[in-house]
Structure 1
Amino acid sequence: MRTTLTVFLKEVKENLRDKRTVLSALLYGPLIGPIIFVMIINTVLTRELNKADQPIKVPVIGAQYAPNLIEALKQQGFVPEPPVANPEAAVREQDADVVLRIPADFGQSWRKGETAQVELIYDSSQRETGGSVERMKGMLEAFARRQGAMRLVARGLSPTMMAPVSIDERDQSTPQSRAGQMFAILPYFFVLTIFMGGMYLSIDLTAGERERQSLEPLFANPVARWKVLLGKLGAICMFSLTSLLICVVGFGVCGRFIPAEKLGMVLNLGPSFALQVLLMMFPLILLLASLQTLVAAFAKSYREAQTYLGILMLVPALPSILLSILPVREADWMYAVPLLGQQVGITQLLRGGEPTSAQIAMCVISGLIVAMLATLVTARVYQSERLAISA
């Protein structure tokens, strides 16, 4: 163990002098995620909330055919704009979010008590127009319901005849569970932070030393290579753990600046959340350190190792992508799958749930088992004499 400790302290001290490693592992990696995430969320929420509070301006074609409709919409915050010559081109080119077109026979159909049709022209592929379109639809539907009820009353009928079935919605979601759905990408940030925290160190301690031809004299010492490997893995894990800790604390601080309460949500990233995240993420620290070292061992230069690890970085994103695309229901077996278990467990915490002790234990134990297997494979590669040869 003295040999492992010596290698560990040597690598930690040397890499603390490397500005690139320190900035990547302890600054850019752990802090850029919380900062960018909060900036994006704040920008999107502020813009959408401001749009919801402001009157909606919509170009209207044929406003003279339905003055009563226009006046009723104005009472709901509608501001009619002058008509455009080509409404289809206007929405495609984003000159207008939505255009309201009223046909010339609107008044005739209205006086006959028939269904009067209007057109909403918009481009659903434009994300920023979604709020305006939904507000416009809501205004028109409210006007239609109110006028339909008045027609029934004028004929001596009850407005309830329009709704033979009444729907009483009982949403069982909580403010925190809604926040968990919106911020489900957070687990990926934590995994990415671990990856970034140890990536440059794992490259330098294997491919970098191989390129500098310093591995061969190190392996020439009468020391078991697995002890050298454990010392290097310990240094990588130390940087990854520190990076993760900074990231979790960063999200806890930055999360207070997210106006989730304005959307009826509660985002709890306090000490209890942080401790459980660190516990579930601990196996991934060793697993990713072993995988990074293993991949870097097949590279003969620093740049080549960067290319390989850049491809490996896509692996942690798979659970987040799959869970966002596929409607998968949470099950206990998911906690036994590394990366997937952490994704499911942290998402459950964000939703205000509490993973059971058995689920957390399954997540940690299975992750440690896979990490040990990856470490054994890496140790096997370290026994090869070709590892010390750079050419």
Structure 2
Amino acid sequence: MNGQAFDAIVLGAGAAGLMAAAVAGQRGKRVLLVDHNPEAGRKILISGGGRCNFTNLGTAPDRYLSDNLHFAKSALSRYTPRDFIDLVEAHGIAWHEKTLGQLFCDGSARQIVALLLEECAKGQVRLAFGEPVSHIDYGDGLYRVMMAGTRHTAPVLVIATGGPSIPKLGASGFAYDLARRFDLGVIQPRPALVPFTLGEDEALFRELSGVSTEVEVHWKKAHFREAALFTHRGLSGPAMLQISSYWQHRTPIQVDFVPDAARGWLVDAKRAAPRQTLRRTLAERLPERLADALLDKLGMAGELGAQGDRALVRAEEALRRWAFTPNGTEGFAKAEVTAGGIATAGLSSQTMEARKVPGLYAIGEAVDVTGWLGGYNFQWAWASAVACGRAIP
């Protein structure tokens, strides 16, 4: 059965899809917004502990991963965190800044979803939620989208269905399957901002489940200084989630457990208080359970004065360059986002339109642009969506 003709059909009612539909609708375009979930913005609702970390004041292109590190520059420069803050404030939503430029709602993430739905309503966007797409084809300049036995058409199709992270919310690789059908390249998707798992040889650290401490973690040239959390399966916390986006399987990460300590601090501590124990000295900088585990691994105990200076220097270096080799991650089930995705080489950085497929656009997490933890991925969603919504003819 034939349905309605639209100017654009947007697939996916997450952050990017809602924003793109709203922008295009408010430009007078007839827009259909489709999602197989019965409600919009399911990932938004769980983000930021339910308060939605909706952007980051430190947004810059170098905070994103992509095969083309320049691709995100155009969209991010044309729709900034201040632009989204203005929208939030126009809707009367109170917000606050946490650490490292992260902005959150004072109330609930539902306020951001309500904002986006109100913006869609202003643009008279037609909503079709809880209706899975059964078939899509293209011909004679029109995309034909079949759902619930009805075929809708439009000269523009926007892929905003995200990646497969958090499948329990209905996430899948639908975007990549669709992109491949239209001969768009796909960079191998992988879990990002995801906890690490450790093998049996690191069982001692898995027994520290719940212990958290500030560290500086390194993988090749990437490094982050934030909290690390030991879990019953391995390593988590902001520092580990950040470095996981860069990490390659079966390679070591290096952890500095004493990033604030001056060089030679253990030898200096020995000079100042030779009768003090190593355990107490380390516990002044680290949680006691972690201090015990590290000293156990180092095979060291007793008073500082009983240790040779060289042994203390070696211990200090070990604490600064502690190597963990994760045996994997907790996968897409626990990943906050997906790295990789639809290759930027086939897209316009100005409009998000496919270079060789007229009227086909890809935005948000579906694209091979992945931000750091802390609101960066939402800002990419808003920016790429606005670029797309403004470009739809």
> Which structure shows the bigger proportion of residues in strand conformation?
2
> Which structure shows the bigger proportion of residues in helix conformation?
1
* TM-score, length-scaled by structure 2: 0.21
Q: Which has the higher contact order (CA 8 A, sep 6+)?
A: 2
